[in-house]
Each structure stands twice: as structure tokens, then as C-alpha cells.
Structure 1
């Protein structure tokens, strides 16, 4: 797999029927290793190991309804009170992040109301903080570390 713009992490792999799988520490199972999954797993480890977010507050690939359409978010980090702290949209490194990507995560956030947004293709990372009163987001250098 391609080298990504994340710190180096230690992953568990498995090869079965000529398909490589990577162990997901959140879902607690092996998942087929695709380019987007490679980015997602790096991002999960980044959130846990570098930003200090507890595994128990992280959720991966769940369905949500946006304007009667079924969508799946990549990563959501909850606050201890159950509200949503962060939504992460992961793309394959081959996908260029553009306005459509920001529109996609903004649509998800109409339902989820996260305080922070992160978009990554593993090579480029974008971080935003929501300003709900002004109905816009402000770009940040990084997302904040977990605060207990």
C-alpha cells in the first residue's frame, strides 16, 4: 500500500483467499484492505495514538439518513455526553479532495451536528471547526487533542 502522510503505525494483517485484510481496532475484526480503508485505519490510529481519543468514543462506517437518502459516514468521534465531536471523511489517496468532498461532509453534518470536521485522502488533511451561528466552517491547522 501507498505511503501516507501520517505517522508510522503498527497494523495487523491477514492474507486469506489472496485478499489482504487489516485489523480494525474499533470494529474488532479484520476488514478487506482497500485504499480508502488504508486511509481510514491510519486516521483511526492517529486519533487514538496522537490525539488521545478513547476507542470507546470512536465509531466507524455507520449509516445515516440525509434527505431520505441512506449514506455511510467513515469515522465519528463522540463526546462523553453522546453528542458528536468530530466527523471524518476518508477518501482513497487517488481521489483529489475538492468542493464536492466538503459538500458531502457538510451534508452529513446537517444531521450529525459535529463541532469539528476532518477530510483526508491520506496525503492531504483538512480540518474545520463549525460556526453554527454563522452557518459556516473555519479551517484549522489540526483538530484539538482529546480533552477529558
Structure 2
């Protein structure tokens, strides 16, 4: 997958419009953001900013059920401990959508997609998504054909 903002598959979710809805505070010399899923304050790093904006988009615009979303969930991949950025479950509590978040200045390369696919190994979600907040890519996974198809939008929950 070659990513390019001019690609027809590069999705601009306009996440910046959710910035004013984030709960942000200053603590010491650092800014913190409140994660409504984890119900705690976190240091506001660039990747965390993208993660929180995406959560607002998924819940408020896409109407995903917040009770079916996990953030930084631990899992074992080939015996190694890893964490998923965002994992969403369907109504039957099967993994549905795995999202890998990157800081806005990190380009979305084939390597980023491979990282998400690697984390997906034990999960076998039907959809993978990568995002740096400026652009996002969604792929529908075909496990039988061992292939994927890029999508033009985030899947409905």
C-alpha cells in the first residue's frame, strides 16, 4: 500500500472539528487530555491527540457504541506483549475494527499498515484502519484470499 494524500483511498475525516470537544487541562508543565473510554487523564502526546479525536469521531459521528470500544488493549502477538490503539467489537463482541494511530507528522506508509496487520494476527478483524489524524486508510480483509481491499469510508458499526 502506497499512501498519498491525493490517493482516492486517503480519507480526510476532518478530525480537527472535534478538538473543542476534548477535555484538556494543564498539570505541572504538561497538558493532559481526558479519555472518556479509559476514564482517566493522559499526557497529551501527538499520537494520543489523534486517538482521542478518532474516538470522538467514532462515537459522535459514526454512532459506534462506546461500550464496544477498547483503547490500548493488551494482546499477545507471537508470544510478545503488544497493545492495540483502538479495537472495536461488533454486537456479538467479535473484534470488528482495529485502528493503529500515529502522530500527525508520521507518514502512513506500508510499514504502518503492516504493523496493524501484525497486531491483527490473533484478532482477525474484518476491517483495519490506520490514521495520523490528517489522513486515514481503511482496508477490508479477505482472509480466504489472503488479500485486502481499500475502502472509501469508515465502516458502519
Residue of structure 2 in register with 1:89 after alignment: 100
The reply to whether residue 32 of structure 1 matches residue 7 of structure 2 is: no
Gaps of 5+ in 2: 1-12
TM-score under structure 1 normalisation? 0.92
Deviations 1:38-79 (A, max 9, x none): 000011111101111011000000111111111111000001
Number of matched pairs: 143
Q: Is the 8 A contact 1:77 1:85 kept in 2?
A: yes
Matches within 5 A, 1:85-124: 85-124=96-135
Name the CA distance, whole Å, in 2 between partners of 1:107 and 1:136: 14
Residue of structure 2 in register with 1:6 after alignment: 15
Structure 1 moving runs of 4+ over 3 Å:
none
Residue of structure 2 in register with 1:18 after alignment: 29
Residue of structure 2 in register with 1:137 after alignment: 148
TM-score under structure 2 normalisation? 0.87
Deviation at 1:7, TM superposition (A): 5.1
Determine which of 56, 62, 74 is the counterpart of 1:51: 62
Higher relative contact order (CA 8 A, sep 6+): 2
Determine which of 54, 58, 76 is the counterpart of 1:65: 76
Name the CA distance, whole Å, in 2 between partners of 1:51 and 1:21: 25
Q: CA RMSD in A?
A: 1.2
Gaps of 5+ in 1: none
